[in-house]
Every structure is written in C-alpha cells, then in structure tokens.
Structure 1
Amino acid sequence: MRNDAQGAPPGRKGESSPLPGPHTDRKGIGADVGASLVVFLVAVPLSLGIAVASGAPLVAGIIAAVVGGIVAGLVGGSVVQVSGPAAGLTIIVADLIMTYGWRVTCLITLLAGLVQLALGAFRIARAALAVSPAVVHGMLAGVGVTIALAQLHVVLGGEPQSSALANIADLPDQIAHNHTAAVAVGVITIAIMFGWNRLPGIGRFRPGMIPAALVAVGTATAIATLGRWEVETVVLPASLADAWNGPMLPESGQWHGIALAVAAVAMVASVESLLAAIAVDRLHSGRRVQLNRELCGQGAANTVSGALGGLPIAGVIVRSTANVRAGARSPLSTILHGVWILLFVAFFAHVVELIPMAALAALLVFIGVQMVSLAHLRDLNRHHEAGVYLATLFGVVLLGLLEGVFIGFALAMIVSLRRLTRLTVVTEERDGRVHVSVDGSLTFLGVPRLAHVLRTIPSGARVDLDLHVDFMDHAAFEAIHAWRVDHERTGGSVDIDEVHEQWYARSSERSAPAAKTVPKGRWWAPWEMRKKAGDRREVNPVGLLTAGAREYHSGTADRMRSLMSRLANGQHPTSLFITCADSRVVPNLITASGPGDLFTLRNVGNLVPPHHDSDGSAGAAIEYAVNVLRVPSIVICGHSHCGALQALLDKAHEEPEAVETAHLRRWLLRGEGSLHRAGVEQGVLDGLPKSEALRRLSQANVIEQLGNLMGYPTVRERVASGELTLSGMYYDLETARVHLLDAESGEFTPVQSVQDVPGPVPSPRPDQPVAESSSGASSRPSS
C-alpha cells in the first residue's frame, strides 16, 4: 500500500481536502477548532521546554511553534501532522549555539530550510526514508536520554554538565545535596505527568481529555505561585520587537562547519518529519501524506523560523498524535494552533512568566525518558536490528549526535550486507538421492560456500537441488551450471527445483542450452504440484500444513505484518461472498482480493436457506455482514463440476436416509428450489450432456439463492434503499474463467479482462423476481 499520495488529484472520494472550502461541513470545522485548542495547550509548555534544553532564547521556542503551525500547515502535505520545535534536534541546536552563537544558528536554520525546499522541489523526499528506522529511533532515544540526564540536574536545583558522562557522574552529588523548592516543583510535575492518564474517570470525564503536560505544568505553577516559592521562572521579552534576534553571517573561517551543520539539521529534520508523517497516517483514514509537498512545507517553515529568530522545526509525533485523537480532520487544526499560541503569548505573556523553569525541566525529563521506546526496540529485535538501535543510542549519548548516527548507519549497512550474503546450504541423503537445499540470496559472495558443498557430492550421485532463493546473480548461475554439467558428464543426475522465482531457469534460457529443470508450483498452486517429479510418497497432511506455514513465515508474514496490524483494529469488507465449500474454489484468488476485502460464507452447494429456515449459521453470517459490517455488496458464486448439485441431479436427497449422510441429505433438501428453477421437473435438462445439465443447474442455483436472499427483511430493506447490491457469479473450473450474471437477460457472461469488467449488476427489486434462468424457466419470488 502506498504511503505517498503524491500527484493524487485533490478532492477524490474518501480524501480530505487540504483546506476547508466553502462546502466543508460545520461539524468538520468544529472538530478542527476543538483539536487546535488541545494541541495549543500541549505545544506551549513543550516549546518552552525545548528552548530551555537547547540553550536558546525562550521566545525562540514560541516563534518556532507559531511558524510550524501556520506555515507548515498551509504549505505541507500532511492532513493532521503538527510541526514545531522538536526534541530530536535539541542536541544539534545546543552544540551549534555553543560553537557559533545564537544568531548564526538562526542562519543555519534558514539555510537548512532552503535545502529542504530544494529537496522537495526535486521530488526526492522518499530518499530520506532510505535511512534505517533503527538508526532514527536509536538517535531519538539517545537524544531523549541526553535531554533527561541534563534536565534532571535542573530539576534537582543544579546545573547540567557539558556531557552525558559528566551528568551521570555528578548525579549522586546532586541527589544528596539539593533539596530546594525547585526540586519540589520538578517532583510534582513528573508525578502528575506519570499518573494523570492512569487516574480513573468520573462519569463521562476522562483525565485524557485534558493534556497531561498542561495539568502538570499548570499545577506546579499554581502551587509555586500561591506558595510564594522562590524558584526561577520564565522570562519573556517586553515586546515582540525586542524578541527579534535574527540570523547573522558567520566569520569567514567558519563556513565549512556551517555547511556541515546545515546538512545535519536538514537531514535530521527531514527524516524525523517524514517518518512522523507516515506514522501519523496510520492513525487516521483521510488523505495520505504527500511526502514531497510535506518536505517543502517543512523547508518553508524552517526558512521563516530561522529568519524570525526561531528554533529549527520538524514534524512532532507527540503533538500530531494529540491532534488526531482530538478529532482533527484537516490542516486547519494545525494552522489554528499556531494562531492560538501567537495570541496567547501576545496577550497573556504575564501568565507564561509565572511558569517555573524547574517545571519545564521536569517536563523534558519525562519526555526524554519516553523517547526511549521499548515498543520500537521489540519490533526491531524481531527484525534482528536491535543492535543497530542500541549502538546508535549509546553512540549519541557517549560521543555525540552525529557520531552516534554515523555509527548506527555504518552498522546498519554492515547488517544489510550480511543479510545479502546470508546463505544456508544443507545436504542430506534420502532414498538413495542426495538432497541439497539452498536458502537465502545467492550472490557471488556466497558462491565459494556453495561450490565447496557441491564439490563434496560423490560422482554419479542422483541429486535434488532445491533453490529457495530470492535472488541469484550471474556468478552464482555460472557456478551451479558448471557444476551441473560436470556432474552429469560423470553419470550423475541433477533435478533443480525452484520455489520462488525461476532464476536458474531464466538464466539457462539466456546463457546456456536448455536445462532440465523441475519448477515448483507458485504460491497459489496445490501442494501436490510442489512435490518433486517422481515423488509419489504419501505426505502427512499436518506436515503439509506445517510446511506451508513455514513457507508463509519465510516469504510472506513479514511483508503482511504492517497490513495485518492495521486490520487487527477492525474489518470493513466490501462484500459478503457466498460460495461453495469446494476446495477448488478460492475466493480471494479468483477476485484478486486480499485480507479484509471479503467476508466469506462457504457451505456445500453455496446455498442460502430461506429466512424462516431452522439453520441459523448462514442467517447469522448474512445478518452480521449486513447489519454490523454494513457491506455494500453481496455476491453468490457458483461453480462448475459441483458435487452437491450433481447429487441433487442424481436425486440423492430423495434416497432413504442413512446415518452417515443424514446431515448432508437434509442440507441438500434446501436445493430443491434450484431444481425447479432449472426446469428439472419439466424435463428441460433431459437429454443434455451431463456437464451441460450440471452447468445450467449451477447457474440456476445462483439465481435461486439470490431470490432466497431477498427473503431476509434486512437485505430487502437495504436493497430497496439502494445501500446494498446483489450479484451473481459463476466460476468455470476447466477454463479458470469467472462469469457474471446479467440481471436483465439472466445469462452469465465471461469476464474478458480488467478493462472489460461490466458495471455493477442491478439488484433485484423486492417486488420483482430476480431473473430468469438461461433455460427459460420462470422466476419465482422467494419467501
């Protein structure tokens, strides 16, 4: 599934428009206004805290929050992402301020914004995603630890040291000797941040309705103010004119370092913003992020922020998540939150100046600890990338941000190279044959190992070579083919089976005489076709299931995890698909659908019992699909060579009841209506070839079951209102072709190609029969 909706026309069905137009409903605007107030309350203390941690003027955090909301919201490509000063850039900014001073840092922010604008204009935003998530998350975790260690000293009433190691070394002394009012403010703030969302609700009120950061900082401020505690508080400029402290050119010898700093800020801000935007997309169902446009929006925001004397800006996952959960539907929420911050600081600066610095420091300690995500570590560990995460984390903490990122990136490259060269070669002898199984990526780097194993096979042996490889380069092909030719020249035989792609077979066609290969079936082929040629041994069905599950885990499960994690929260199928339990009919295969598309009901003969029938299983599935899942379509699919309908033709349901087939006989009695519709009682099918008679009965059965569906009140009501359509389908096993029912003619016509698919089949009206069968039998309304 695409994460980038780049180039999609605005206003398509199911998408949110970038900005509310004249036809936007008032409910949507109200939701955006409400969400903007929530994000505003979260953003003010966070912006001030990040400015404190960066060593920048406090008003720089406010400027970045305002610009990030208004400019990035107007220009960016994400519907609900909120941008502003980001904790992930704190260490870089602090180092830049110490090295070059604040005004040159503003210039670096401005230039980084221009770089981002250029990257977005050249449409290479996706290249930023090439950085391993393990490196990004490890970097953010390292930044979080560094921030927490530094700001913990402020909470304890002291001063942060120059490095994380120095902060750790000095921490015991700070804990032992500092017990000032600032410590109390910090402890109160952290306690509220930790416990606020864990409090039980009262009636309809839930603590999560009010941001924890606002409650923590507000409570600490109120206690310190009312108690007249002597603590350092926020100091803002007397006017906005005094607040401007814009960019300045550096000294002549500093441009080389400035260039590196611009690249670092642009890279970190871009990667963090784009990854955050993609993560936020998982939380809402509106328009997907347009990555290049979002990168341009971030560049524009950083350019303006740097020019106005603000901090660097990036997309922030905490504020974006709060925005989505508060009900935001469009960028209007992001823009308004910036407006509220500007108005608040302009008219209520005296309130901001009551906030204790220790409360902001405590807020940063809590946020820094949260940036070390155990959930990310668990996910990365499943992909064997936890080492990259931890190496980046410790590198950032112990050496610095750029050094840590470089270590993590280098380790990620080594891990990727190792995976590229990972090759498993297993040899065993069974039934007088040598079985060699090769798993992994078969490149020139793995050729020495494979060649060594192949050379150990005795001359003249019969060999089965199983290639479970996802790639084979020419060097690997040459090595295998040369060994094969030599082995067969000495009297041996080689059967090559390829499970996934036909790498060897295709290379043989291009580079060598035709080779005798035994290709295995694709993923959709039956197990029987995947056996080796000549292998007629019985296989334990449980063993086949286990082998199939193993193949699924090795080749498909990792690719599906992202999709299935989204579907785990609920299903919204587009159709109730009723078909036969026949093992040869695979609904998702013949409709090219995937998980979450079809709500499938299968039984013998694809029968729909009438509404008054005592069988509740089919009725429960129909009612659940129509009333709960609200599917817009129901499809009944019959098929050729149906054993159940052949039994009906043979009148098996009229034979004396036997214990071993009692349930089957009673079930087939529900198909008598199909016999009547096909004209069996009138002898319409007499004299026809068996296959043709069965085809007509199968197609008449589909039409009959559509009539039975109309007997369900909930189906009839939704069809009459136009909310539900009913369709008939027939699958011919011999030709593997799908046929659709034309409700006007009653004929099933084959689907020629994707381009030739007919429009939706009109649903039968409640007051009319469904359609006439191809045999000309009259239609009967179903009860």
Structure 2
Amino acid sequence: MPTMATSHSPPTSTPAPDRRTWHSVLRHDLPASLVVFLIAIPLSLGIAAASGAPLIAGLVAAVVGGVVAGALGGSPLQVSGPAAGLTVVVAGLVSQFGWAATAAITCAAGLLQILLGVTRIGRLALSLSPAVVHGMLAGIGVTIAVQQLHVVLGGQAQSSLIANLAGLPGQLVAHHPASVVVGVLTVVMLLIWPRLPKVKVIPAPLVAVVAVTVLAASLRLDVIRVSLPDNPLQELVVPAMPTGGPLAIGTAVLTVALVASVESLLSAVAVDKLHRGKRSNLDRELIGQGAANAVSGALGGMPVTGVIVRSSTNVAAGARSRASAIMHGIWIAVFVLAAGALLELIPMAALAGVLLVTGLRLVQLAHIRTLRRHDELLVYVVTAAGVAVLGLAEGVLAGLLLALGRVLYRLARATVTATEEDGVWIVRIRGTLVFLGVASLVRTLRTIPVGATVRVKLQVDHLDHAAYEAIEDWQRGHVARGGTVELNRSAFRAALHGGTTGPRWLTRWQHDQVVPAPDQRVSTLDGIREFEDSADLIRPMLAQLAADGQKPAQLFITCADSRIVPNMITTTGPGEQFCVRNVGNLVPPYGSNSNSVDAAVEYAVTVLGVSSIVVCGHSHCGAAGAALDGPPDDGSGLRTWLRHLEPSVRRAVALPDIVDPATGVRLSPADKLSVANVAVQLENLRSFASVRKAEDEGRLELVGLWFDIGAAAARLVLDRRPYLVRADEELAATAAPADL
C-alpha cells in the first residue's frame, strides 16, 4: 500500500501552488494532456461531420470543453468536448433550425444547465432508469453506425435511420473503392490495435487516422477529405435566434440540456471508479458543463458534454488534476491555428470509420446481460428502438413511460395464497397491497371454509387503508361465524404506516432508523416468533448452505459490543463470514491459554481456508476506556482478560495524535488506544504458525479495521501516518494494512 503522508480532511483554505504541485503537473498532467489532445482531434472532427455541423464547430467545442469545463467543473479528471451521444440531437436541430440557430440553442441550454446546478437539482438526472439511459445510448449508437456506414462506402449520410437503411443497397451499387479501403482499414486498425499489449498505450483512433491519412496521401487516393476555412477565427458562426414556435424552441433547448447533463453526470460517476483521487461534485460539474455550453454556443461551437472515451484515456495516461483537461484544450487551439492544413489531409471515410466503431461500442452486451437479469430488457429495447426510429426525445419518453408503468405495476402487485397445513389455513400476503389488489384479496379469503383456524402471514412492503379495511372486515366476519384468526398486529401496523413486515433483524436497520427504548424492545420469544413468521424469505438460501457446508472467505474478529454488527459493516450474509467476538477484540499471543480464540483462528485458517482475517476495533470502546482509567486489577475474570490490553496501552502512549481522515478531528485517548490495539492484535495473529505460513504463501491477508460508531464509517489501519485512511477509497484491494 502506498505511503500516505497527509490526512483526507478538507483543507481550511486553498493553498498556493507549491513546487510539488508544479512538479506533479509537469510529470503527470502534461504528458496526459498530449495523449488526450491527439485522440480528441479525430473524434471532434468525426462527430462534427456526423452531426451536419461545420467541422470548425467540433474543434471549438473541444477547446471550450477542455478549458472551460476543465477549469470550472466538479470532476477534476473528466475531459469534455463534442460527444457521439448528442450527434442525433444536433443533426436534427441543424436540419430543423440551421446551424446559427443551433448554436444559440446550445448557448441557452448551457444557461439552463447552470440553473440546474445552482439549484442543486442536477443530480436528479441520475435518477433516470439505467435501462432508459443505456437504451438511449444504444439507439444513438445504432443510428450513428448506420449513418457513418454510408460515408465509409463513399456516399452521403441521410437524415434518419430508415432512410439510411433504405439507401444502403444504392451505396453498395455505387462502388467507391478508395473510400471503402480507407474506411475498412480504419475499422480494422481500431479493432486490432488495442489487442497489441506493448503499443496500446497510444490511442487507437489516433493511430488509425494517421496511418490511413498517410496511406491515402502516398497513393493519392481519390477520396473526400476534411475541409476547413483558411482563416478559422473569421469563419466562426455568430448565433442567431431560432425561427419557430416557442414550444419547438423550448423543447430543443430542454433536450440539449437534459441529454448533455445526463451524459456528463454518468461519465463523471464512471470516471470516479477509475481513480482514487477526489470524488466528483456533481452540482459543480453541471455548472461547469453549462458554462462550457454557453461559451461554445456563443462562439458557434457544438454542444459540450463529459466524454467517457477521452476521460478514461486521461486517467489511463496518468493525469492527476484538472490541469490535463485544460491543457488539452489549449493544444487543440494552437494546433488548429498553426497547423490546420494538416487536418485537411484526413479522409472523411477515416473519420467515419472512427465514428462507426464508436457508435457500435455504445451497444454493450454487458449492459444487455445485466438488464436481462433484472428484468429490464424490455425497457432497454423499447428505448433504443424508439430513439433509432422515432427520434431521441420520443424514444426516451417511450422508455420512461414504459419504465414508470412497470414500476406502478410492481407496486400494485400482491400475491395472496391460502393453503391448508395440518388443519390450519395459512394465508400468505406478499408484495405491495393497495386498493388495486383488494378484489383479488377478498376472493382468496372467501375460499377459506367457515369456522376454520386461520393464520395470516404478512410479508408486504406497504398496504393502504382500503386493504387494511378489507382484511379487518373479513376477520370480523370470520370470527363471528366461529372461526379464529391469528394476525401479527405489529407487522400489520408497520405495513399500514409504510414499513416493511419482514423480520425485525432484517428491517430495523433499513427502515426504522430509531433505537427503541428498553421497555419497547422485543422479547427473545417474540423475536423468535417474528423470525419464524418470515423465515420463508431466507429458507431456500439457508437450505442450500446446510447442504453445501460453510465456506466463508474471511475470519472477522471484533468486539462483543452490541453496537457492532459485522455483517452490516462488511455487507456479508449467511455463510460468508466466520466471526469471533470478545471484549476488546483481542487475540492473545499464541500460548496465552486463550483456548477459544486459538481454536477459532486455527480452525478458520487450516480447516475453512479463509483468505483474509479482519481485526475490527471501534470507537467508544468500553474495554479501551477501562484499560485507561479503570479500577486496579481485582482478580476478576474481566480484569484478568483486560491484561491483554497492556501492550496496546504502551503502543498508544508512544504514538502521536491520530486524526480522523474524513473530519480532521483528533481521536480521544480511548479511541486512539482502540486503533493501536487493532495493530497489536495483527502482530499477535502472526504468532500463530498457521497464520504465518498462510500469509507467507500468499493465501492469507491480514486487515486492520476501525469502525466509528457515531459516524457509521469504516477506516483502514495503517502502520504509518496518518494511521487511519478511508475504507471507501478502495485501498484495501491493493494491500493489507500492517501494524502500527
């Protein structure tokens, strides 16, 4: 694990750039900016061509996206510019309003994005169903691919998918061999280059475009090439007010703003998963994207979004700050002004080949498989087909309506069954029971014989007043005719008030969020009864575990403190964790006559073959407090056990202050001791021969963890300053923390 010299607490003020900052920019961000600049040139030109926009507009958007969005946005490593996802939208606007008006629409959309970011509702764009988002991208990808196939074949793309499909036979008959060779060679290089391990660091689009451009120039192939104005600055288009009704203009502005926002925010979230640096501020990112679109539109440029292709390249190239994105925009501007003639050597078929592959990659089989598993494939297909055939706004609207309809159907669906078991009728009600399902409920209840003994098992997320009254009316009538009805009243009331009726152990953490007073806590027998009422939920899984035996991946050693829930902290379920709990999460050194702990450690390592051992301490630890200021040793069992904390006390005294990495707050003496104690227990674990052997052979990892109860935060324990790091930064995946 790399050494971390500072805490993760936010600085109180922005420090002036020092020598280390400039060294990082020159060493990491400058080379990364050059790589991104080289890949951005062909992509920006290709997207502009595919959108029906002036080619210079794509380069303007690349420059503005890099400089403005890079400087103001909330995602430091995201690179912005013209994106394939907006190609269909821009093409439709150009055909409807013209390019000057499209630039004005882009500017207005940017101002709307800024408003969304300032009002902190920009993050709501992430609430869109993933099936709709991925379906939208797939529909755009198919449209781009079919459109650019015409250009690869040496022809002109049509305005719609249907027209492009209908025109393909004619393009094949027309036979433009030079364009076909250039386009096919570009596609082949794009597919093969990333598979070459020693050269894949150089972007495939750059290699493909440069190679086919040199080939076309050397052989003097008769192909259509990029055409740029002689004086780019004088050819910038001044935005003009769109002509048309307010509804059409408003719809255009809203479409550009929403699509650009969703694509940028999704890209920012994806980029966060590629690095361990600062996470994105989505509202600030939306403001930065809005400012970039406002400036790009004012200069006659295309709409700007965060682009995952350029952003992932930026991260892979080693960028550390937003300086990389800003510099890449500057390099594009310098290149266009000083060496624009070189761009005019690029065949249009080469750019079309880049866009063809880019479009096809928007249709990802991994997304299809995932959505199929979650029964969302229909929404994906409808959205993609709607975007490709009808248009982006119509396709997304169709997908949203279908997704909403499926949600309402699921919310209103309840399964009611009545079966006789050993002379008792069991009524099971699952799902969400609202007025729409009352008729089905009543029909099922009326099948129960008069005078029968009935037990009602509620396993619902919610029931409304109509369902409540239906059950109450049936119960009164059944009892009046000599029958009996057993109903869990607490579960009944919880469902009526929006709570879930699953077992208390499963639902309190997720739904109640309130610690009950001592006199309100469930008794042991009542708790067991509630479990049995809902055991059907987990019986199949436990039956499988019983048949297969336990195969846990980790041994979790923690304190007996009732506030520590190991499965909650580690997000593990039955069968995944072998747990040892004692006062103070202690592992006395081997040979200390702590037979129970010794047996558990050796059994977990030698018999179960766990791959990790986690020692978890926690804040507000009573054992740590007792070891610091408790009464003298009185010979009791508790005091005898706490003697094992003495090495940890000595270690804690020798350590400097320990600061929480998220808040910057210095830990109390007791919490500092509990952190030091985790490290000492890791040392004690290595006194076991079985542990040492497994660790030396690479079969076992030792992990130190400290849980802050009040903050509900897990920290990893390091052997050096800052001693604690945030577990959510995924450092645990690279190396095990050592002892302090």
Q: Shorter chain as normaliser: what TM range?
A: 0.7 to 0.9
Structure 2 Cα separation of the partners of residues 85 and 585 of structure 1? 55
| Inter-CA distance 473–579: structure 2 relative to 1 (3 Å threshold) | same
Structure 1 Cα separation of the partners of residues 341 and 142 of structure 2? 32
Aligned residues: 623
Which of 471, 478, 486 is equivalent to 1:480? 471
Does 2:361 correspond to 1:370? yes
| Inter-CA distance 446–283: structure 2 relative to 1 (3 Å threshold) | farther
Structure 1 Cα separation of the partners of residues 19 and 591 of structure 2? 44
Give the drift of 1:519. 8.7
Secondary structure, counterpart of 1:369 in structure 2: helix
Structure 2 Cα separation of the partners of residues 728 and 482 of structure 1? 62
Q: Are the aligned partners of 2:503 and 2:530 in contact in 1 as well (CA < 8 Å)?
A: no
Give the drift of 1:527. 11
Structure 1 Cα separation of the partners of residues 366 and 124 of structure 2? 25
Partner deviation per Cα, 1:609-639 (whole Å, 9 max, x = no partner): 43999989959999xxxxx999998689999
Report the TM-score, using the length of structure 2 for normalisation. 0.74
Structure 1 Cα separation of the partners of residues 255 and 24 of structure 2? 39
Give 1 or 2 for the bigger CA radius of gyration. Answer: 1
Structure 1 Cα separation of the partners of residues 94 and 353 of structure 2? 22
Secondary structure, counterpart of 1:150 in structure 2: helix
Which of 523, 529, 533 is equivalent to 2:506? 523
Which of 199, 221, 225 is equivalent to 2:213? 221
Which of 620, 623, 642 is equivalent to 1:699? 642
Structure 2 Cα separation of the partners of residues 328 and 495 of structure 1? 65
For residues 594-605 of structure 1, the aligned pairs below 5 Å read: 594-595=570-571, 602=580
Structure 2 Cα separation of the partners of residues 66 and 101 of structure 1? 22
Q: Are the aligned partners of 1:19 and 1:332 in contact in 2 as well (CA < 8 Å)?
A: no
Does 2:256 correspond to 1:250? no
Partner deviation per Cα, 1:145-172 (whole Å, 9 max, x = no partner): 1111011011011222332122223323
| Inter-CA distance 115–172: structure 2 relative to 1 (3 Å threshold) | same
Secondary structure, counterpart of 1:428 in structure 2: strand
In structure 2, give the amino acid aligned to 1:78: S
Instruction: Name the stretch that deviates more: 17-26 or 455-464.
Output: 17-26
For 1:230, the equivalent position in structure 2 comes to 222
Structure 2 Cα separation of the partners of residues 353 and 378 of structure 1? 42
For 1:554, the equivalent position in structure 2 comes to none
Give the drift of 1:760. 13
Structure 2 Cα separation of the partners of residues 43 and 139 of structure 1? 23
Q: Are the aligned partners of 1:607 and 1:705 in contact in 2 as well (CA < 8 Å)?
A: no
Which of 419, 429, 437 is equivalent to 2:410? 419
In structure 2, give the amino acid aligned to 1:28: S
In structure 2, give the amino acid aligned to 1:610: Y
Instruction: Name the stretch that deviates more: 336-345 or 161-170.
Output: 161-170
| Inter-CA distance 99–754: structure 2 relative to 1 (3 Å threshold) | closer
For 1:578, the equivalent position in structure 2 comes to 557
Structure 1 Cα separation of the partners of residues 612 and 342 of structure 2? 50
Instruction: Name the stretch that deviates more: 613-622 or 419-428.
Output: 613-622
The runs of 5 or more residues in structure 2 that have no matched partner are 1-6, 508-521, 547-552, 606-610, 624-631, 653-672, 682-706, 720-740
| Inter-CA distance 507–240: structure 2 relative to 1 (3 Å threshold) | closer
Once superposed, what is the RMSD of the aligned Cα atoms?
A: 4.7
| Inter-CA distance 533–723: structure 2 relative to 1 (3 Å threshold) | closer
For 2:199, the equivalent position in structure 1 comes to 207
Which of 373, 377, 383 is equivalent to 1:382? 373
Q: Are the aligned partners of 1:67 and 1:301 in contact in 2 as well (CA < 8 Å)?
A: yes
Secondary structure, counterpart of 1:249 in structure 2: coil
Structure 1 Cα separation of the partners of residues 310 and 13 of structure 2? 21
| Inter-CA distance 475–285: structure 2 relative to 1 (3 Å threshold) | farther
Does 2:421 correspond to 1:430? yes
For 1:95, the equivalent position in structure 2 comes to 92
Which of 214, 238, 241 is equivalent to 2:233? 241
For 1:589, the equivalent position in structure 2 comes to 565
Instruction: Name the stretch that deviates more: 141-150 or 443-452.
Output: 443-452
For residues 8-407 of structure 1, the aligned pairs below 5 Å read: 13=9, 21-22=17-18, 25-26=21-22, 28-29=24-25, 30-199=27-196, 201=197, 206-251=198-243, 253-407=244-398
Structure 1 Cα separation of the partners of residues 431 and 187 of structure 2? 49
Q: Are the aligned partners of 1:82 and 1:320 in contact in 2 as well (CA < 8 Å)?
A: yes
In structure 1, give the amino acid aligned to 2:328: H
| Inter-CA distance 13–95: structure 2 relative to 1 (3 Å threshold) | same
Structure 1 Cα separation of the partners of residues 391 and 443 of structure 2? 45
In structure 1, give the amino acid aligned to 2:402: L
Does 2:481 correspond to 1:505? no
Secondary structure, counterpart of 2:427 in structure 1: strand
Partner deviation per Cα, 1:521-569 (whole Å, 9 max, x = no partner): 4228999866548989x99x986714999xxxxxxxxxxxxxxxxxxxx
Structure 1 Cα separation of the partners of residues 638 and 84 of structure 2? 68
In structure 2, give the amino acid aligned to 1:71: V
Structure 1 Cα separation of the partners of residues 28 and 350 of structure 2? 31
In structure 2, give the amino acid aligned to 1:464: R
Q: Are the aligned partners of 1:637 and 1:729 in contact in 2 as well (CA < 8 Å)?
A: no
Report the TM-score, using the length of structure 1 for normalisation. 0.70
Secondary structure, counterpart of 2:345 in structure 1: coil
Secondary structure, counterpart of 1:463 in structure 2: strand
Q: Are the aligned partners of 2:651 and 2:676 in contact in 1 as well (CA < 8 Å)?
A: no
Give the drift of 1:233. 1.3
| Inter-CA distance 80–18: structure 2 relative to 1 (3 Å threshold) | farther
Per chain length, whose mean CA-contact separation is higher, i.e. which structure has more relative contact order (CA < 8 Å, sep 6+)? 2
Q: Are the aligned partners of 1:84 and 1:315 in contact in 2 as well (CA < 8 Å)?
A: yes
| Inter-CA distance 14–452: structure 2 relative to 1 (3 Å threshold) | farther
Q: Are the aligned partners of 2:125 and 2:262 in contact in 1 as well (CA < 8 Å)?
A: yes
Secondary structure, counterpart of 1:348 in structure 2: helix
In structure 1, give the amino acid aligned to 2:222: E
Structure 1 Cα separation of the partners of residues 541 and 150 of structure 2? 61
Q: Are the aligned partners of 1:497 and 1:532 in contact in 2 as well (CA < 8 Å)?
A: no
Give the drift of 1:442. 1.8
Structure 2 Cα separation of the partners of residues 167 and 544 of structure 1? 52
| Inter-CA distance 110–437: structure 2 relative to 1 (3 Å threshold) | same
Give the drift of 1:508. 7.8
For 1:610, the equivalent position in structure 2 comes to 590
For 2:518, the equivalent position in structure 1 comes to none
In structure 2, give the amino acid aligned to 1:64: A
Give the drift of 1:27. 5.3
Structure 1 Cα separation of the partners of residues 570 and 600 of structure 2? 24
In structure 2, give the amino acid aligned to 1:168: L
| Inter-CA distance 102–535: structure 2 relative to 1 (3 Å threshold) | closer
| Inter-CA distance 607–633: structure 2 relative to 1 (3 Å threshold) | closer
Which of 449, 457, 473 is equivalent to 2:448? 457
Structure 1 Cα separation of the partners of residues 539 and 524 of structure 2? 12
Give the drift of 1:72. 0.8
Identity within the alignment, %? 44
Structure 2 Cα separation of the partners of residues 415 and 155 of structure 1? 41
In structure 2, give the amino acid aligned to 1:726: N
Structure 1 Cα separation of the partners of residues 501 and 342 of structure 2? 79
Secondary structure, counterpart of 2:406 in structure 1: helix
In structure 1, give the amino acid aligned to 2:425: V
Structure 2 Cα separation of the partners of residues 353 and 590 of structure 1? 63
The runs of 5 or more residues in structure 1 that have no matched partner are 1-10, 511-516, 550-570, 623-627, 641-677, 686-692, 711-721, 731-750, 764-783
In structure 1, give the amino acid aligned to 2:676: T
Structure 1 Cα separation of the partners of residues 528 and 599 of structure 2? 41
For 2:4, the equivalent position in structure 1 comes to none
For 1:408, the equivalent position in structure 2 comes to 399
Secondary structure, counterpart of 1:208 in structure 2: coil
Partner deviation per Cα, 1:72-129 (whole Å, 9 max, x = no partner): 1111111212111111111111111112111011111111111111111222112322
Structure 1 Cα separation of the partners of residues 711 and 364 of structure 2? 48
